[in-house]
Structure 1
Amino acid sequence: MSGRLSGKIAVVTGAANGIGAGCADVFAQEGATVIGIDRGDCDLTDEAATDAFFAQICDGHGRIDILVNAAAFAVFEWIETLSYADWQRTLTGELDIVFLPTRAAWPYLKASGRASVINFASANAYHALEGSAALAHCAGKGGVLAMTRQLAMEGAPHGIRANTISPGFIVTAATQRHMDAVPGFADRVLAKNMVKRLGAPQDIAWCATWLASDEAGYVTGADIRVDAGATAW
């Protein structure tokens, strides 16, 4: 352990699975005190519940140095079969679930004076992948990309940096179900990848660790594509 995050208080949403779990694990290895939040802890799309949960966190810690908004959910359907209700549900699960925790954490990020917010856009914010019914997901992740640039500007006077990571295809329990349901989907992903393998949560977690650390103190409003080169063609 190098202790790159030693002494930092990190809140990670979506910490029970996938990218969130990867970030929580690596942050802890690097010396951070990690508070993980998942669906059983708090409904992060409920305004009052989210505000109360973050107030409770800061009653014990006084500040937040790192906020990782990894929690998300989406409905994947083609436009012809995507209901308006599922469109709205996806935007709630991609945008509200970032906005509400960030707003609730904001006073405690300001209290840090050297805070880092890490949000997740996606390769889908840049390109369409053949065979992927991701219309609402693409819209949501494009929104996260734009929202984070604004957060960087609003946070700069308070010592808050805000950046996004845009993952390529990362193998998690959720994406494995998608691969199982769509024959040949993994081959389509690999055809776009320059690095000919699928991603793992740790591939994203190490990038997040750097953004969370003081090493990235001059980095804000940036998006880092961790996608095996898929969007660089």
Structure 2
Amino acid sequence: MRQGLQDKVVLITGTGAGMGREAALQFAAAGAIVVGCDLDEEANKQTVAEVEAAGGKMDGQAPVDLGDSAEATAWVERAAREHGRIDVVYNNASAARFAPVASMSDEDWRFTLRNELDLVFYVTRAAWPHLAERGGVIINIASVAAHRGNPHVPILAHTATKGGVVAMTRQLAAEGAPHGIRAVSISPGTIETPGTAATLADPAVQAGLLSQTLAARLGVPTDVVSLALYLAGDEAGFLTGIDFLVDGGMTAF
């Protein structure tokens, strides 16, 4: 059992699949009470079923549109009301649209801002007073895209939003310190999830991404979640305001 997570209330966004589902499973296995949400009701139900089958505790709610300020706030307040506290906020959920700069529409740009940056702000703002009661932890999922461009995939809006998440995390750490709140971000490289499946289905794109990594493979959800589990625990108490790259060496050269 990881030190400090037993019976802690951990809010995880985007628990319907991929890294969010893996996070729900691992945090529940560590003894936390997981409060998850997703847009996809059936997928989120499946995650709850898997957590409970493994002996964990999960309160799942769907559909929840975290890009809507009122829905995000209602989800957080419900969690605080029903569980009496919030100890960790794990901002995992995101959705982006990719297009070259010259052809990206206003709609696609704003969709990406809404679903990769706004929702982190809405959830964190709502949870802030609850985290401050005991001193909590915020874990934001950013991306290697915050640190480098990509010649194989047109990710302009994604680079802007994830760069914003990294910068936001530093400021949250600064504002949270007087309240005992730690804030960290994780920047994954290419992770094999249902969300990246369509992109990785192109052999040329996959080969290009592999050529940019020192590891001889792409990432998998547990590569990211295992670090998040550590960062949420007492052992990481001296870590705040930092972005952690989990990219297979992509930014090493």
- Give the structure-1-normalised TM-score: 0.96
Structure-1 separation of matches of 2:185 and 2:107: 27
- 2:227 counterpart of 1:201: no
Matching residue of 1:226: 246
CA contact (8 A) 1:28 1:34 kept: yes
Moved over 4 A (4+): 1-4
Matching residue of 2:52: none
Secondary structure of the residue that 2:186 maps to in structure 1? strand
Matching residue of 1:165: 186
State the number of aligned residues: 231
Higher relative contact order (CA 8 A, sep 6+): 1
> What are the superposed Cα offsets for residues 203-223 of structure 1, whole Å, 9 maximum, x if unpaired?
100000011001100100001
Sequence identity, in percent? 45
Bigger mean CA offset, 129-138 vs 163-172: 129-138
Matching residue of 2:113: 91
Matching residue of 1:35: 35
Of 123, 131, 144, which residue of structure 1 is paired with 2:165?
144
Structure 1 vs Structure 2 CA RMSD = 1.2
Structure-1 separation of matches of 2:206 and 2:67: 31
Q: CA deviation at 1:4?
A: 5.4
CA contact (8 A) 2:72 2:119 kept: no
Secondary structure of the residue that 1:7 maps to in structure 2? coil
Q: CA deviation at 1:41?
A: 3.2
> What are the superposed Cα offsets for residues 87-117 of structure 1, whole Å, 9 maximum, x if unpaired?
011011111010000001111111232x110
Structure-1 separation of matches of 2:84 and 2:63: 20
Matching residue of 2:53: none
Can you give the 5+ residue segments of structure 2 that lack an aligned partner in the other structure?
40-61
Of 158, 177, 182, which residue of structure 2 is paired with 1:156?
177
Q: Which amino acid aligns with 1:200?
A: V
> What are the superposed Cα offsets for residues 38-85 of structure 1, whole Å, 9 maximum, x if unpaired?
113311111112212211111112211110000101001111221011
Matching residue of 2:78: 56
When residues 124 and 225 of structure 1 are mapped into structure 2, their CA distance, relative to the original with a 3 A threshold, is same
Secondary structure of the residue that 2:249 maps to in structure 1? coil
Secondary structure of the residue that 2:238 maps to in structure 1? coil
Q: CA deviation at 1:227?
A: 0.6
Can you give the 5+ residue segments of structure 1 that lack an aligned partner in the other structure?
none
- Give the structure-2-normalised TM-score: 0.88
Structure-2 separation of matches of 1:10 and 1:121: 19
